[in-house]
Structure formats: structure tokens, C-alpha cells
């Protein structure tokens, strides 16, 4: 089965129920169980997670708050299984776990010793699940996190799975942190509704763009701009989805002219680690770099985002501008992941209560 | 000195005292200090550890219990030194340490940077011992854990060593978890005494089989079956030991006929990572796989075990049968290792008291 | 810029202020912020750190003390970033962090996945700083820790940096632990003042010797002996610095004759991992080994030190002599690093108060 087909399955599941007549994504009370694909998050869920992330962020400012957050999950344990290395995402989850007081174990190798001994990937993860209460997993194979989530749902000791990136298609917590960053950035100017968002760079292969574009369709009158050289433009399947829900967009081949128009510029990196025949190195993308001069034509309330790591797409001289929010984006990832973990373990309400009583 | 000779030394030591006139294995009050070889555990010690593991397992079910278990060893620290990678054993010990609230540091490389700089393995581990209160160690060299244990016993700051697998010979905590699994499985049918246990697969090289066979000789009227192709049959030295203590056994070259007879089937994996000239790939072991059909002829109270990882020895369709206990075996490893650590640190009594007062 | 030039910059900075008109090393109240070079530590600061390390060491002897130490920094998090592997230093810092209750995250690879994706080293560390409150960093490039410290000082969320070894020049916490070991060793015989210290072995490339020699110039009438074959003798730049501050020294090419004269013998390992054309293997250093026989001519109050790992420089038979303090040196590293971390986070006074009230 191709990765595209596996991804289709995800979309289909969201319209109904899984093979056993129950949803793979949600618990009976509607809370998230497995966090596998960006598309499973509805707008109310996104808003809930964002407001919970803000509670966590503000609670964590005081020693008492840190102590409260760390006191909830001492009887649980998470497994950080990164079969595909990703230092950034690994550390973000690790710090999120520490924020909420969840002990971690980690495997950060591309192959475990058990796999070397001929074990199936399913057995490997099932072993991990025996020791833990949550599996946070990054894997090069598309659809793998979903396969594992189904398997673990059908054991005597079901363990939730958070997909920390699988294959080319899904990296749902990146999409969550992007939404949270947009929400925080536009907090005082009416939120995400009515905003114009430009995606710039390698739109063909960047999974963050695909996921975020989908989530943005849930907001009112958001217009998207896809700004890239022809060879790296956004896939037709994404455009078909946008058409299907009636969301407006523009395809642009020229960067400078759209800068003064938009509220958010989402820069991306050329993903040549996916590039088998190394074609991208032949494409000149320098016209799509955000230079210091562009700060002069950018709206004063606009923001520049980047999922990082960056190469040359954004001049380091841009970093000190208050509209450059990519470093804040990094910390937002820690907060939204903390919120997601708390939510999976049913601590949403307890944290909001503490926030109401002690902080706000 | 050959590994066989080193192993002989262990056996000899158990009959007397070590070079300095004291036992390397036990503390003055009889508690385990170093856990190096399966043979150091007498039946009363096994029963003590198993009952302690059950206390830990039941205490850990509640938040209060977890909090109690984690509050004991905060002033200690363990070193997980895995010079030979073993994801499964590593995680089991790591989760055991977290269960009992013992902070861990880890080195999981086949070579440390100090060794690269020309340091002796003894100096390397002595350095580790400087930072910690317990060393949990896996090493490819047979006898190495014992050599280290002796060295550390003779420093001004003796630190206990748990052998997490060394060379071809010893993996004592695997044998402990196997005994614990058998005890739990036969809890309602009279315990391990009088039972028939079949070992199946690669008996020549599997160290778990050797260790477990020895421990089983301490129970009453246990009969063992060694089921394997000629080339992978159990070593003559093991049979000689069984003969010496008068324990009955059968050598079998055919699997199906013994299935209806036995109470436990201990499947093993072909250990071709030990196989220098790769001879095992030429041996057809498919007659020794446990297939779904065999469930029909297996006793209703019998259990199927496997130290994992498995390859094709057990059909995944067998997993959902309640007699397949190999996944439970994984968690049993965590509980018995927790018990062993608590026992080494002298917390045995404190945990039993808590269990009596709060749980039973 | 050569490493030597970068190092010169450090020295220059200490005589004045950094590029932004403020010191990169100290906080406004005079406490250490970044710990980057040995030269930033004045004698009063060294004495403060040593006495704080002793407080920590004695407090940690009791369960109550451990609990106190671990209760201070639960709301902080450290990053252990070892771009150049160093098991020993890594573990020492890890155990120091655990001693003071500071949660850690670690990256112990020579390259992170982000760097593979084309990220600049500055962006990599800035990401780490987003998740943490302290960066402990080892890096093969000389001057890198200082560059990073400056960068992080100029962000909206400054994070302190401890240099755990960079390039050939600096490893300041090694120098601190050496000073602490000398202070402890000479506690009852008047401290470091007036003592004679011999450095033996590879003095050309060993950065610990360079740093320690500099710190010793701050004590009264310390005399140094540099004992090495011609090819591995101490650099002219170090001697020029000693001359500049009027500190006496001797250059020696013969080991045995100075042994009865000195109070401390600082043995070092031949650093052939720095050795590009492998010249050191041609140099016979066996005349500079400390053999068991030398114990007979060594002063009764003298000490033998070694930064470890050792090769053949010290006979293992020497280890059991009470004057061999290199294993104690290892634990001293843990205590002085704990003290440094506590000091950076402003907990110096709180720890001293506890010590006065509960211990002394």
C-alpha cells in the first residue's frame, strides 16, 4: 500500500469509525486518545488545546506552578521512540514530558538491537508499550504510527500513541504548534479568522505545510498563498481539498509582491533529505529567501514563522525583529505538546481549575 | 582463561568463599549484594524475590503506592552501562529504576570515549562507580561482570553490580523473570513443583535456557524436555549438572508430540549473532515453530513463554490466546528487577510492611 | 582566526568588558553567569566554590540533605550537549545535575539531525536554549562556547553556558576540580599556598595543565615543575605568562629526582587523539610513568593526581596507596560542578545556610 493510500485511510476514518467499530483517535468521552494525524483535530479541539497550552505556559512561570504541573503524572511513564533521528522534535517532547512531570525512557537509534535480531517493528513497539503509558514515536514509514496505534488499541493494556512525525505525510504536533503560534500572534487582532497566510519555499514536500493548510480551513475566511518555484509548488491534492471546502487561495511564483499583503509568512526549508535523485539542488530558490530588506514592506502586525531548522531562507539579521516569531514557535511547541499530553491523560480540567484559582 | 573456565569459577565460589575469604554475592546479613550468576539464587531467595515482586506490582497499581515506591531511593543513583546493546533489557532495567525512584545515568555505546583514549575496562567502570550507588551492566565478555564486582568490592566505596548479561553464559535477571512468570502462571495450580517444562529451539547457545534449567532443579519433581534439532541441542555440561542432582529430563527431536504433555513451553530464538561461521542459517528449524494449530493440543492450564525477541518461532496469531504469556513476561521482568534492586538496597522489609498495611 | 587568537580574546576580555560593554562571565551581582575559561576564576571565587562544594558534599551524606539539595531546582532544566564525546565529563555533569535536582536533557552525538539538515551550529544551540535554563556544552571547536555564550547573552531569554571542554584550549571545570582536590588534600597542611606541584607527561597538548597552571599563580609562593620529554614540554606561551606574574617554575627532563621534592604530582596522558601526524607514538614516555617503587620516595603528605583516563602512566598497584587521589578527584569533579551550578542559579547562600544550621 502506498503512503498516499495509507493517508487516504486516515482521512476516511475521520468520516466514520475504525475497523473495530470504534474511533482510533478518541476516547469515549471525546478526548484525544491517539494523536496521529493533523486532520483529527477539529476547531473546538484546537481552541481547547491552545487555551490549555496557555494555562500551562503561565502556570510554569512560578515555582509553585511548576511543582503543581510536575505532581500529576508521577505514576506514568512515556517512551520516546525516535526510529528516525530528529533532535529538535525529540527535545521538544522531552521537555514537554518534564514540564508535566512524566518520566521518560528513550530509544533514539535508527535500529534497535531487537530489530537487528530479527524482531518485527510491531513486536518492538509492543515491548516498549509494556514498560510505559504513552508512546511518542517518530518513524520513517508513512502510516506506521497508525498501524501501531491500532495494534495497541487491541491489546489488554492499550497505550496511547503520539505521532511525532511519520514518513512524508504526517507530523501533527508540528501543525498544532503552528496553530498555537498563529493564535498567540493574532490574539489582540481578532485571532486567526480573516487572516492571510503565505506559505513559502518547498511546498511540494514539506509535510508541515500540508497539515497546517488543512487545519486553517477550519477558521473563517482565511486566505492562503502558496509561494514557490514551479518545481516545488504545493500538491494538486491539497488544492483539491481546499476547493472541496471552498477555501480561497492563490498560487504565486513571486515572493516580494505578496509580502505587504499577508499577516503571516510561513517559510520552509528545502527538504532534500527526501530527495532521492537530488533534483532540488538544481533549483534556484534564492528568490524565496526572506531578507532584512523585506522587513520594511512587511505589515507591522504580521509574523514570520519557520518550522526550523533553517538554512538560508531567513537572514539571521531578521531574528531580532519582533515580528520574527520562529524562536518563540520553538517554545510554543513545548507548551502545546505539554497540553496534548495532559489532555490525553485527562488532566485538562484539573489544570484549568488550578489556572483559574491561582493565576488568572 | 576460557569463558567456560570463568564460569566454573563462579560455580566453585558458590560452594565456598571468594579470594578474600568473603562471598562476592551476599552481604553479611545474607541479602544479595552483587547479582552476577543465576546459580547464586537458592529457592528461598527466589521465593522471597518473587513475593517481593508481587508486592511491588500490586503497590504500583495506585498513585499512593507509586509515590511510596518512588520515595525510597532518591538519595541513590544507578548506572546503566550497556557495552553490548540490548534495547529490551536496557528499558526493563530503566523502568525498574523509575518504578523504585532510582535516578539513572546511562552509557549505551559499544565503546566509551575513554576506552577510545586507551583506558582499561576496569578503570572505565571504576569511574562509573564513583558517580553511582549501583552498576547495572551488560558486556560481551564472559566473566567480566564478576571481575568488576570483585574489583569494586575491594575499593573504599564498594558498589553493587547487577549482571544484565555477559557473554554467552550468564543473564541472571532473565532467569529470575522466567521463574517469576512460572510462579505467577502456576499460582493456582500448586506452583512450579511437579511441573513439566519444555525448552524448544536453539538450546545450544541460548543462555536463558541454561540458567533457567539450573534454577528449576531447586523445585520438587520438575521434569524438563529439551526439544531441538540435533545441531542445536542442549550442551552436555547442562545434562551432567542435571544428572548430578538427579533431576529427570528428556531429549526430544520432535515438537508436536510433547505439546499435550507439558505445563510450560519455553520457546527460544536462534541466536545467530553468536554464530561466527553462520552455520545456523543452514539448519531448518521450522519444525520447532509454535503454530496456531498447536493451541488445540496444548493443556488448558499450560503457558507459552519466550524471552523475546522472537522471529518466526511463534505465530503472531497465538498472541491473543490467554496461555501466551510472553508479553506478560516482559512486564514481569520489570517487577522482578524492581524487587531485586529494592532487595539490594535493603528495602525488602519496608516494602512488605507497606504492602501488608495498605494493600492486602 | 586561530584557536590561539580566540584564546587571546578571552584573556583580553577578562581585563575589560565584552563587545556590548558588559562582562560575558559575570552577573551584575558578581556571580558567575557563563563559565567559559579557567582564567575567569579569581582566588576568592575559587575559595568560594571549593567551600560550597564541601557544603554540598557533606549535605549529600544524609537522606535529608539529598532531599534538600534536590528540592531547589525542580523548576529548571539543563541541556547536556556533547558534540564531542566525553563519557567521563558527561557523567560527572549528569550526576552533578542529579545531585542538585536539575532535570537534564542530552544530545551526545557528534552531529545532530538538524545539523545534517543544514542548520548552523548557532541555531542548533539556540534551539536547545529554548527548552532549557542552562547549557552544558562540549565542542571540538576552540572558542565555540564563548561565541555561543555571547549569542545567548543577547537574546530575549539569556541562558548561561558552562564550557565542558572546547578544542585544545579550555576545560575550565577540570581546572576547578583539580584546585578543589588540591585544597582538600592540603586542608590540614596549610592549603595550596607554598606548595610544590609537578606536572608530568604530555604538557604540550594537555589543556588541563595549562588551565591549572594559570589558576595556581593566584596562590602564594606555589612553585611548578614541568616534567616531560623535550618534544612534549609545556608551551612557551604558558611560561611567558608565569614569567609575567613572577611565578617560579622549573623545566625538568628527568622524573625520579623531583619526586621527593614535591607536594603534588599531576600525571597526564599522552593526547594522541589531537595528533594529526601521529608523532607522539614515536616518543618514548616510559621514563615518565609513576611506578610502585616511586611510592617509597614520595613525601608522606604528597598526593598523586591524574585527570584520567590513564593509560600506563600510573601503575594500578599505586591505586591502593592513600596518596593516590585520582579516584577521589573523580568524585570531587561531581561536587565542584554541583557547586558551580548552584552558584550560577544563585543558590549559594541558601546552601551555606542549610549547611550551617543542619550540618556543621
Buried-exposed string A164-185: b where 16+ CB fall within 10 A, e elsewhere: bbbbbbbbbbbbbbbbbbbbbb
pLDDT digit string (tens) for B172-185?
A: 999 999 999 999 99
Q: How far is B346 from chain C (nearest CA, A)?
A: 15
Is the confidence at residue B253, as pLDDT, over 50? yes
Is the confidence at residue A13, as pLDDT, over 70? no
d(CA C77, CA C341): 11
pLDDT, position C247 = 96
Select from C79, C83, C105, C116 the residue whose CB has the most chain A CBs within 10 Å, as the one to mutate to test that interface.
C105
pLDDT digit string (tens) for C142-165?
A: 889 989 998 898 888 899 999 999
* Average pLDDT value for residue range B227-253: 95
Range list of β-strands (E), chain C: 77-82, 103-107, 134-139, 161-166, 196-200, 223-227, 249-252, 264-267, 303-305
* Percent of chain C whose pLDDT exceeds 70: 90
d(CA A237, CA A241): 6
* Average pLDDT value for residue range B17-23: 51
pLDDT digit string (tens) for C69-92?
A: 999 999 999 999 999 889 999 999
pLDDT, position A111 = 75
pLDDT digit string (tens) for C106-116?
A: 999 877 777 77
Residues A34, A57, A126, A171: which is the catalytic one? Answer: A171
pLDDT, position A253 = 96
Which residues lie closer than 8 Å to C47 by C-beta, 6 or more apart? Answer: none
The grid coordinates listed for A172 are: 501533527
pLDDT, position C335 = 98
Is the confidence at residue A15, as pLDDT, over 90? no
Q: Are A196 and A252 in contact (CB under 8 A)?
A: no
pLDDT, position A31 = 80
Contact B308 A131 (CB under 8 A): no
**B218, B222, B227, B233: CA torsion to nearest 10:** 30
- pLDDT classification of C3: cutoffs 50, 70, 90: very low
pLDDT, position B31 = 80
Is the confidence at residue C16, as pLDDT, over 50? no
Which residues lie closer than 8 Å to A199 by C-beta, 6 or more apart? Answer: A209, A212, A213, A224, A225, A226, A227, A228, A234, A266, A268
Q: Are A82 and A164 in contact (CB under 8 A)?
A: yes
Is residue A130 within 8 angstroms of chain B, CB to CB? yes
Range scoring the smallest mean pLDDT among B250-264, C51-65, C167-181? C167-181
pLDDT, position C316 = 95
- pLDDT classification of B19: cutoffs 50, 70, 90: very low
pLDDT, position A1 = 32
Is the confidence at residue B21, as pLDDT, over 60? no
Which residue from B minimizes the CA distance to A133? Answer: B95
Contact residues, chain A, for B273 at CB < 8 Å: 116-117
Range scoring the smallest mean pLDDT among A145-154, A180-189, B332-341, C124-133? A145-154
Is residue C57 within 8 angstroms of chain B, CB to CB? no
- pLDDT classification of B201: cutoffs 50, 70, 90: very high
pLDDT digit string (tens) for C269-306?
A: 876 655 555 555 678 888 999 999 999 999 999 999 99
pLDDT, position B22 = 58
Is residue C217 within 8 angstroms of chain B, CB to CB? no
DSSP assignment of C61-124 = TSHHHHHHHHTSSTT-EEEEEESS--HHHHHHHHHHHHHTT-EEEEE--SS-HHHHTT--HHHH
Is the confidence at residue B339, as pLDDT, over 50? yes
Across the interface, of C66, C269, C334, the residue whose CB is closest to B131 is C334
Distances (CA, A) of A325 to A267, B62, B79, C155: 11, 43, 40, 13
* Average pLDDT value for residue range A318-345: 97
Nearest partner of B57 among B337, B264, B327, judged by Cα: B337
- pLDDT classification of A32: cutoffs 50, 70, 90: confident
d(CA A41, CA B260): 52
pLDDT, position A166 = 86
Distances (CA, A) of A127 to A112, B328, C77: 12, 10, 29
Contact B116 C311 (CB under 8 A): no
Distances (CA, A) of C288 to A131, C200, C207, C267, C321: 52, 7, 18, 9, 19
Is the confidence at residue A138, as pLDDT, over 90? yes
Residues 89-128 of C with CB under 8 A from B: 91-92, 94-95, 98
Phi/psi for A264 (5° steps) reads -145, 135
pLDDT, position C18 = 47
Run of H or E residues at C234: none
Is residue B330 within 8 angstroms of chain A, CB to CB? yes
Contact residues, chain B, for A72 at CB < 8 Å: none
pLDDT greater at residue B193 or residue C167? B193
Q: In what order do the strands lie in the sheet with B103-107?
A: B103-107, B77-82, B134-139, B161-166
**How is residue C358 annotated by DSSP?**
I
Which residue from C minimizes the CA distance to A108? Answer: C107
Grid cell 555564550 in the structure block, residue: C149
Count the neighbouring beta carbons within 10 Å of the beta carbon of residue B241: 17
The grid coordinates listed for A258 are: 505578496
pLDDT greater at residue B112 or residue C336? C336
Q: How far is A239 from chain B (nearest CA, A)?
A: 42
- State chain B's maximal CA–CA distance in angstroms: 59
Is the confidence at residue B170, as pLDDT, over 90? no
* Average pLDDT value for residue range A274-286: 66
d(CA B170, CA B354): 33
Run of H or E residues at C217: none
DSSP assignment of B45-65 = HHHHHHHHHHHHHHHTTSHHH
pLDDT, position A187 = 96
* Percent of chain A whose pLDDT exceeds 90: 74
* Average pLDDT value for residue range B160-188: 93
Predicted ipTM of the assembly: 0.91
Is the confidence at residue B136, as pLDDT, over 90? yes
pLDDT digit string (tens) for C224-282?
A: 999 999 999 999 999 999 999 999 999 999 999 999 999 999 999 876 655 555 555 67
* Average pLDDT value for residue range A141-148: 89
Nearest partner of B289 among B268, B262, B264, judged by Cα: B268
* Average pLDDT value for residue range A70-89: 94
3-state DSSP assignment of residue A278: coil
Average pLDDT over chain A reads 89
Contact B130 C87 (CB under 8 A): no
Sign of the alpha-carbon torsion through B340, A97, A63, B60: negative
Give me the active site residues of B, please: 88-89, 117, 138, 171
Which residues lie closer than 8 Å to B299 by C-beta, 6 or more apart? Answer: B260, B262, B263
pLDDT, position A113 = 75
**How is residue C230 annotated by DSSP?**
G
Per DSSP, chain B holds a count of helices (H) and strands (E) of: 12, 9
pLDDT, position C153 = 86
Average pLDDT over chain C reads 89
pLDDT, position B12 = 41
The full set of domains in chain B, from first to last, is: 3-171+331-349 (3.40.50.1370), 172-329 (3.40.50.1370)
Contact residues, chain B, for C165 at CB < 8 Å: none
Contact residues, chain A, for C81 at CB < 8 Å: none
d(CA C333, CA C326): 11
Q: Are C72 and C342 in contact (CB under 8 A)?
A: yes
Range scoring the smallest mean pLDDT among A98-112, A233-247, B275-289, C50-64? B275-289
* Average pLDDT value for residue range A264-270: 92
Range list of β-strands (E), chain B: 77-82, 103-107, 134-139, 161-166, 196-200, 223-227, 249-252, 264-267, 303-305
- pLDDT classification of B27: cutoffs 50, 70, 90: confident
Amino acid at each position: 500500500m502506498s503512503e498516499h493510500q495509507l493517508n487516504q485511510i486516515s482521512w476516511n476514518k475521520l468520516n466514520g469509525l475504525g475497523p473495530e467499530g470504534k474511533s482510533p483517535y478518541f476516547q469515549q468521552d471525546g478526548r484525544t486518545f491517539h494523536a496521529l494525524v493533523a486532520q483529527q483535530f477539529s476547531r473546538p479541539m484546537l481552541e481547547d488545546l491552545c487555551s490549555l497550552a496557555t494555562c500551562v505556559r503561565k502556570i510554569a512561570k512560578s515555582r509553585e506552578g511548576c511543582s503543581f504541573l510536575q505532581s500529576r503524572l508521577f505514576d506514568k511513564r512515556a517512551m520516546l521512540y525516535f526510529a528516525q533521528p530528529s533532535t529538535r522534535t525529540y527535545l521538544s517532547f522531552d521537555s514537554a514530558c518534564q514540564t508535566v512531570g512524566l518520566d521518560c525512557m528513550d530509544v533514539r537509534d535508527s535500529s534497535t538491537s531487537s530489530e537487528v535480531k530479527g524482531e518485527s517493528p510491531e513486536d518492538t513497539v509492543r515491548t516498549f508499550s509494556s514498560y510505559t503509558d504513552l508512546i511518542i514515536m517518530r518513524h520513517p514509514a508513512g502510516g506506521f504510527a497508525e498501524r501501531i496505534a491500532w495494534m495497541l488499541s487491541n491489546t489488554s493494556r492499550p497505550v496511547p500513541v503520539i505521532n511525532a512525525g511519520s514518513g512524508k505525510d504526517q507530523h501533527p504536533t508540528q501543525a498544532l504548534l503552528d496553530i498555537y503560534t498563529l493564535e498567540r500572534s493574532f490574539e489582540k487582532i481578532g485571532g486567526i479568522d480573516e487572516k492571510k497566510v503565505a506559505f513559502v519555499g518547498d511546498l511540494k514536500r514539506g509535510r508541515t505545510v500540508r497539515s497546517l493548510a488543512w487545519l486553517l480551513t477550519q477558521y473563517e475566511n482565511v486566505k492562503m498563498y502558496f509561494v514557490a518555484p514551479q518545481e516545488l509548488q504545493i500538491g494538486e491534492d491539497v488544492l483539491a481539498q481546499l476547493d472541496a471546502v471552498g477555501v480561497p487561495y492563490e498560487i504565486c511564483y513571486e515572493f516580494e509582491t505578496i509580502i505587504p499583503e499577508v499577516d503571516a509568512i510561513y517559510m520552509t526549508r528545502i527538504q532534500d533529505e527526501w530527495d532521492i535523485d537530488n533534483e532540488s539542488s538544481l533549483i534556484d530558490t534564492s528568490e524565496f529567501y526572506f531578507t532584512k530588506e523585506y522587513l520594511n514592506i512587511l505589515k507591522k502586525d504580521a509574523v514570520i514563522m519557520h518550522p526550523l531548522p533553517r538554512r538560508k531562507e531567513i537572514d539571521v539579521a531578521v531574528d531580532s525583529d519582533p515580528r520574527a516569531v520562529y524562536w518563540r514557535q520553538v517554545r510554543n511547541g513545548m507548551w502545546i505538546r505539554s497540553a496534548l499530553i495532559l489532555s490525553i491523560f485527562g488532566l485538562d480540567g484539573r489544570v484549568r481549575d488550578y489556572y483559574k484559582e491561582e493565576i488568572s
